[in-house]
Amino acid sequence: MSDGAASTTDDLALIERLRTGDDAAYEEMIRLHGGRMLAVARRFLRVEEDARDAVQEAFVSAFKSIDRFQGQARLSTWLHRIVVNACLMRLRTRRRKPEQSIEDLLPGYLEDGHLERPASPWRPETADPAERSELRKLVLESIQQLPEGYRNVLMLRDIEDLDTEETAEQMGISPGAVKTRLHRARQALRELLEPHLREAVA
């Protein structure tokens, strides 16, 4: 998704047309990149209207700052960052529920430091497309059960492929806090998936 590579010649040609005010170039950019941006916004916001609004905001903001696009990144990567930012802004302004605790979702330990519930081996992933699609659905639903501050870090790092520094910047927290939250979010997600994925005992 974000490979950090420099702009392609196609990117630069499109940007040049945008800078000269070529109307068709704007529509071309929306049609080329909007689908993927909408998919990102749907993952974060889960309400279709909000996702569309975030994509619209992202494009308007991208058009305004097109002169600042330097070409060190792919256009798709640059737009991806902008739509992620628009989604996080939108989440921040939504009426805040008190942050749910993640503690209940973390593994428990006995006094001697052993896991309270022993971890089981998981079954290998199936090749069956229908089952794989079910599994993806389960993973996404389980991610949605994580408290928001943890869910967002996990989505930015593991799904949207931002690095620790970029995630820290987008979330307004320290890189250390990103690492702590990511590790806890992954542990909690593992706990949520375990009952579904552990190997059946023969």
User: To the nearest whole angstrom, how small is the minimum distance from the Cβ of residue 14 to another protein?
Assistant: 15
**Shortest Å distance, C-beta 148 to another protein:** 16
Comparing CB distances to another protein, the nearer of 97 and 116 is 116
What tokens were used for 126?
Answer: 């199936």
Write a three-state SS string for 83-116. HHHHHHHHHHHCCCCCCCCCHHHCCCECCCCCEC
Question: For the chain, percent helix, then strand, then coil, each to nearest 5?
Answer: 65, 0, 30
Q: Select 55 or 73, whichever has its Cβ closest to another protein.
A: 55
Shortest Cβ 135–another protein spacing (Å): 7
Residue 100: closest CA among 65, 148, 132, 57 = 148
CB of 115 to another protein, least distance (A): 5
- Considering the complex, state which of residue 161 and residue 169 has its C-beta at the smaller distance from another protein: 161
Cβ-based nearer residue to another protein, 98 or 113: 113
Contact (Cβ atoms closer than 8 angstroms) between residue 76 and residue 7: no
Q: What span, in angstroms and rounded, lies between the C-alpha atoms of 158 and 188?
A: 14
The residues of the shown chain that bind another protein, judged by CB under 8 A, are 1, 26-27, 30-31, 34-36, 38-39, 43, 52, 55-56, 59-60, 63, 107, 109, 112-115, 118-122, 133, 135-136, 139-140, 143, 154, 158-159, 161, 179, 182-183, 186-187, 189-190, 193-194, 197
Smallest gap from residue 198 Cβ to another protein (A): 8
Q: Residue 13 or residue 115: which is nearer to another protein going by CB? A: 115
User: CB-wise, 96 or 114, nearer to another protein?
Assistant: 114
Q: Which residue shows structure tokens 């739509």?
A: 83
Residue pair 3/9 in contact by the 8 Å Cβ criterion: no
Alpha-carbon separation of residue 34 from 18, 26, 104, 159, 176 (angstroms): 16, 11, 38, 18, 33
Q: How far is the CB of 113 from another protein (least distance, A)?
A: 3
Distance CA 15, CA 168 (A): 29
